Structure 1
Amino acid sequence: MVAKTETARAARGDAEGRRRDILASAEQLLEESGYAALTVRAIAAGAGVSAGTVYQYFNGKEDVFVALMARRLQEVQAVLAELDRGIGIAGVLREILPHITELWRRLGRSAPQWEAKVLAGGRRGKGVVTSATVYRRTLDALERALRETAEACGQTLIDDPALPHWVWDALIGIADDVLLGGSRQSRVRPKRLVEFATEAIERSIVAGSDQG
């Protein structure tokens, strides 16, 4: 199945447009069939270009995956930077959750396969470094937003370097439940799950909070 339907594609000579077409094709392949289906040939077919053109922009499918993940993470960073700190910690988490859910839906389950493929080949070069750097920046942006929000609301966050990592992993868990419909099987509405979970995260990271 061709990953990308016939839509307006970049004109010849539009380098940035071609790059967008390649990334859009790869992302749809991942969403529909997973990392195993991601090949340079399939990406090229979906983007309406040759395999050689894909290699003009990326070193291979692993680098394409890095670019996709970086783009999604940078979107989360941008949202965090713009959020009103007055909406509270749970409010901030609820605002970014749809973006994290979309990232997880499209790319998350393929990440372990990408990592295994790259590291198994002994390739710890630019792609791995880029992915790790963007991820760290996202966690930094998350922690900064949470601390600024806590300050705006008269709260103090627990001082622990594990905090942003734990919050991120908790949000991924919520996203996974929303996507798989786990809460609905227990007759819990997804909206209520999100409300409860984000409020629980807030209580767990605010110093001196003993609400329960």
Structure 2
Amino acid sequence: MKESSTKSAYGDAEARRRMTLDAAAALLDEGGYAALTIRSVAQRSGTSTGLIYQYFADKQEIFIALLIESQIESTAFVEALPRDQGVAALIAAVIPQSVRQWARVGRLTPTWSTVEGDARYDRASVVELRETSRRYDEALHAALIEAAAKESRPLREDPALLRFVVSGVIGVSETLVNNWAPHLDPSDLVAFAADSITRGISAPGATGHSV
């Protein structure tokens, strides 16, 4: 009987935490980082501020939890992608996932950094966030190498390679989320960006071919 009660309580706690994060994500989408307060999250999720404080110390912890969740989801997505279509196809598949995560929470990271300043680095949750970011980088780098090997495409040996790819993907994601190129078909922009990034990280003279 005791074990059953424990499981029930744990399930309820997880459900309440999920409701809190979903409410926070909706508020961020509607009003940006300024709209995220403990009171507004409580109202949106239909719970009390006291209950939310049981799971999150403040609104920063809620936002960081969303960022961590975003990184974990993106890592799992990249790890599951097929490698046999080559680098450009891999990047073209990564961009829509990046768009989803950028629209949900990523686009507000610069605002969070500006508003909260250096104090955000004092948090243990930020250490966890850095670790999840590192895992995503590792997963994406491994996927690029494996996809390149599948099409016999030599990549540049440069420490800037991964940052170049990530920056390019984020740039396209930001453009699509903000609709900065309404005259372009999104799929055409994704395909062009994926091809351009691939050429940018390929060794000079490399063309690549399926094996």
Number of matched residues?
200
Task: Choose from 83, 97, 100 the match for 1:99.
Answer: 97
For the structure 1 residues 69 and 209, does the alpha-carbon distance in structure 2 shift closer, same or farther, using more than 3 Å as the test? farther
- TM-score, normalised via structure 1 length: 0.87
For 2:133, the equivalent position in structure 1 comes to 135
For 2:188, the equivalent position in structure 1 comes to 192
Cα offsets for 1:160-205 (capped at 9, x unmatched): 22211121111111111112223333xx322111111100100111
Q: List structure 1 segments (4+ residues) > 4 angstroms apart after TM superposition.
A: none
Q: Secondary structure at the match of 1:32?
A: helix
CA RMSD of aligned residues (A): 2.0
Cα offsets for 1:26-50 (capped at 9, x unmatched): 0000001000010011111111111
**Contact 1:22–1:47 (CA<8 Å) still a contact in 2?**
yes
Q: Secondary structure at the match of 1:85?
A: coil
For the structure 1 residues 209 and 58, does the alpha-carbon distance in structure 2 shift closer, same or farther, using more than 3 Å as the test? farther
- Per mean C-alpha deviation after superposition, the further-off stretch among 83-92 and 111-120 is 111-120
Higher relative contact order (CA 8 A, sep 6+): 2
**C-alpha deviation, 1:120, in angstroms:** 4.0
For 1:201, the equivalent position in structure 2 comes to 197
Cα offsets for 1:53-99 (capped at 9, x unmatched): 11111111111111111111111111111111101111111112111
For 1:79, the equivalent position in structure 2 comes to 77
Structure 2: where are the runs of 5+ without partners?
1-8
Q: Secondary structure at the match of 1:87?
A: coil
For the structure 1 residues 125 and 180, does the alpha-carbon distance in structure 2 shift closer, same or farther, using more than 3 Å as the test? closer
Cα offsets for 1:113-172 (capped at 9, x unmatched): 222333343652212212222112111111111011111111122122221112111111
Structure 1: where are the runs of 5+ without partners?
1-10
CA distance in 2, matches of 1:131, 1:122: 11
CA distance in 1, matches of 2:36, 2:120: 20
Q: Percent identity?
A: 36
- TM-score, normalised via structure 2 length: 0.87
For the structure 1 residues 70 and 123, does the alpha-carbon distance in structure 2 shift closer, same or farther, using more than 3 Å as the test? closer
Q: Secondary structure at the match of 2:153?
A: coil
After superposition, where does 1:1-212 map in structure 2 within 5 Å? 14-121=12-119, 123-185=121-183, 188-209=184-205
